[in-house]
Amino acid sequence: MRTFAVYNLKGGVGKTATAVNLAFLSSLGGARTLVWDLDPQGAASFYFRVTAAVKGAGKKLVKGSLDAAGLVQSTEHAHLDVLPADFSARNLDLTLDAAKDPERRLARVLAEVADDYDHAFLDCPPSVSLVSEAVLYAADVLLVPVIPTPLAMRALEQVLDFAARKGPAGLVILPFFCLVDLRRKLHREVVALKDLPGARFLKSAIPYASIVEQMGTHLAPLATYAPSSPAAEAYVALWREVVRRTGRALGRR
């Protein structure tokens, strides 16, 4: 199983939309796909129309008092399951803090289901925390959506620094531009600048498009209700590029 964490310490940059759309595309290609909603806001669970069946599930999972397999919910999409968020995830930091080996805990939970899935996607809350540290250890690939503004580029530098200090060696970090509005001069300028030392931007970028926001009314991935929209095509291109780049960086495993 290969694990993709969609992470940024910045909020509202398109993490959840990316996790949901890429996971759907992964499942559409026939890969057995799991989405783990680590954000107590539960947006990814909401888009896939699932809710946690067990109270305090997130906490129990991380503590090891419940099995991941028992909490996984199937969705209406083939090959696509979700470990839903529940409100106890808001205290995941405290739960981890009280646990032994906190930064390995999420990886350990994923190891339980590693034979059942080809791809796991972690939808992460926007923070720099113990949960984020555990995400670094659980992931093979960190997908970092970045809005093309100077402040967001600074946040990316902080993510790279955090991953370098706290993450394991060999973690593949793939930043890409998201919510891009090329009518804006600032966005054009930042997109043109691109690469930072330590991270090469993916060539694919996700445009700002109100059709993406409509995921909230359709409660479904973009490709199910607007498959030929430019934004849906951008997610397809992004997923293809991620698969190519990770295949090259991590080898076939």
Ligand X SMILES: Nc1ncnc2c1ncn2[C@@H]1O[C@H](COP(=O)(O)OP(=O)(O)OP(=O)(O)O)[C@@H](O)[C@H]1O
* Binding region for Mg ion (CB under 5 A): 15-16, 43
AA letter at 249: A
Which of 10, 66, 9, 6 shows the shortest CA–CA distance to 36?
Answer: 6
Give the integer Cα–Cα distance in Å for 249 and 141.
10
Shortest separation between residue 12's beta carbon and ligand X, angstroms: 4
Give the integer Cα–Cα distance in Å for 131 and 189.
34
Q: Which does 12 bind (CB under 5 to 8 A by kind): ligand X, Mg ion, none?
A: ligand X
Shortest separation between residue 43's beta carbon and Mg ion, angstroms: 5
C-alpha to C-alpha distances, 129 to 12, 25, 71, 158, 222, nearest whole angstrom? 17, 29, 24, 13, 30
126 sits near ligand X (criterion: CB under 6 A):
yes
Binding letters toward ligand X, positions 31-50, x by CB under 6 A = --------x---x-------
> Please, which of residues 205-224 interact with ligand X by CB under 6 A?
206, 208-209, 212-213, 215-216
User: Tokens at residue 178, please?
Assistant: 């998201």
C-alpha to C-alpha distances, 103 to 10, 30, 61, 162, 198, nearest whole angstrom? 21, 31, 14, 14, 23
Residue (67 or 157) nearer to ligand X, CB: 157
CB under 6 A: which stretch of 105-113, 158-166, 182-190, 204-212 binds ligand X? 204-212
# residues contacting ligand X (CB under 6 A): 19
- Summarize as ranges the residues that interact with ligand X (CB under 6 A): 11-17, 39, 43, 126, 179, 206, 208-209, 212-213, 215-216, 231
